[in-house]
Chains A and B, each alone.
Chain A
Amino acid sequence: MKAIFEITDRYLEAGDCSALLYAPLDEALSYRQTRRYTLDYEGDQAAALDFVSKTLLDEVGQELHQGEGAALSDYLFAIDYGMKPGALDLEKEAVMSYYRNLKEAPIVLNDLKIEHRVYVFGESKISADRFVSDICNRAIHTWTVIEGKE
């Protein structure tokens, strides 16, 4: 079974997009970053949610969104990026190692995909390519651009 969870920060406000790029932008765009976890698992849905809440979520400082839909709205575009399948993802390995050492695992976790999502907000005709080239590392990352709704 597959389940997608997106985690947003409750207290972090949108930052200036120029902070993401090697050269500052001429226009005022802002961004927010979230994390998306895709679990490939066997077991109870509620147990999966409980595992995610205890392992990946800070209930004080973050909010959990379940499902494929975007956690945030009114964005210009968003970029999902994560490690290539063959690249060593230390964060994933750390979580999987914790899971493998659980005495009584609540679910059978076959795989975990971790992606960072960058939402860009504002009025602009700027292409996402510039953000992709400055944020993603072509040697180790895969990425997807999600266009915002008109």
Chain B
Amino acid sequence: MEKRPHALLLKFPGTNCDAETARALEAVGFSADVLPISQVEPSKLEAVDLVVLSGGFSYGDYVMAGRLAQLVSENALGDSLKQFRDAGGYLLGICNGFQILTRMGLLPEGSLIHNDSGRFKCNWVKLKKSGLKDSPFLRALPDEFELPIAHAEGRFVTKQASEAEALVASGLGVLTYAEDINGSFSQIAGLQDESGRVLGLMPHPERFMEKAHHYDPDWTNVTGGKHGSGHYLFQSIFEEISKK
């Protein structure tokens, strides 16, 4: 039997998008396991192709979103996630997972802070692919597409605004909002690292797997595909790993 790419989803107390993210991964062909952080140790990363940090409110977002999850993960795994990436593994952080990856230093330096409105935002957004750097997570997606967001701390900032501009100019700011949603510097919605094997994004691809998930019943995919945009993100990384 052909071996399917395997995804491991790390679950913290308060992570609440792991089940649908696992379903989304399985829908495109991955095998997927959800592992509570209390059971995580470096050996659990063996035979894993993709580590996913899904959305939610890990540790109640106490102190700041993603901070306690970062600290607990570093205690449990040390440098193992960096070694996993350096050995060719892929990492995906969605919403709270993006916040955690950023705090762990697996993505370019920056932070996700409270939206400039001071309020939780839950709506659909238009996103633009930068296209300056290839991303194995975004290949099957058109240049512009929609996904839902749901976050209170999704405003991406850097120490200087020019650093965020440089991230977009260099192509590491792989996804931007088509309009100002939350005050993010340079409207950054998603980032990748230099290797391209780590992606963090605030929108939720697992919530738009099928056309029926879209708010507009007449929505059609500009590429002619029969699925929602999120499906193509997971499909992109599945194809990347499968061809290895």
Contact = CB atoms under 8 A, between A and B. Distances in A.
B62 A95 contact: yes
Interface in B7-45: none
A61 interface: yes
Interface in A8-38: 9-12, 15, 19
Contacts of B59: 94
B113 A11 contact: yes
Contact of B159 (A55, A60, A95, A102): A60
Contacts of B151: none
Given A11-B157, A91-B63, A58 B113 contact: yes
Interface residues of A, number: 20
A9 B63 contact: no
Interface stretch (B64-72, B167-175, B211-219, B220-228): B64-72
A12 B116 CA distance: 7
Contact of B63 (A10, A15, A60, A95): A95
Contacts of A19: 118
B109 interface: yes
A36 to B, nearest CB: 13
Given A15-B118, A55-B67, A103-B75, A94 B157 contact: no
Interface in A82-96: 90-91, 94-95
A19 B117 CA distance: 11
Interface string A98-127: 100111000000000000000000000000
> B interface, how many residues as a size bin?
20 to 34
Contact of B158 (A60, A98, A102, A103): A60
Interface in B104-132: 109-111, 113-114, 116, 118
A28 B114 CA distance: 23
A56 B157 CA distance: 18
A11 B113 CA distance: 9
B126 to A, nearest CB: 24
A94 B63 contact: yes
Contacts of A101: 72, 75
B161 to A, nearest CB: 10
Contacts of A12: 113-114, 116, 118
A91 B62 contact: yes
A16 B230 CA distance: 37
Given A9-B114, A55-B63, A61-B157, 13 more contacts: A10-B157, A11-B183, A12-B114, A12-B116, A56-B63, A58-B64, A58-B113, A60-B110, A60-B159, A94-B59, A94-B62, A95-B63, A101-B72
Interface of A: 9-12, 15, 19, 54-56, 58, 60-61, 90-91, 94-95, 98, 101-103
26 contacts: A9-B113, A11-B113, A11-B155, A11-B157, A11-B183, A12-B113, A12-B118, A55-B63, A56-B67, A58-B64, A58-B67, A60-B157, A60-B159, A61-B111, A61-B113, A61-B157, A90-B60, A91-B62, A94-B59, A94-B62, A94-B68, A95-B62, A95-B63, A95-B68, A98-B68, A98-B72
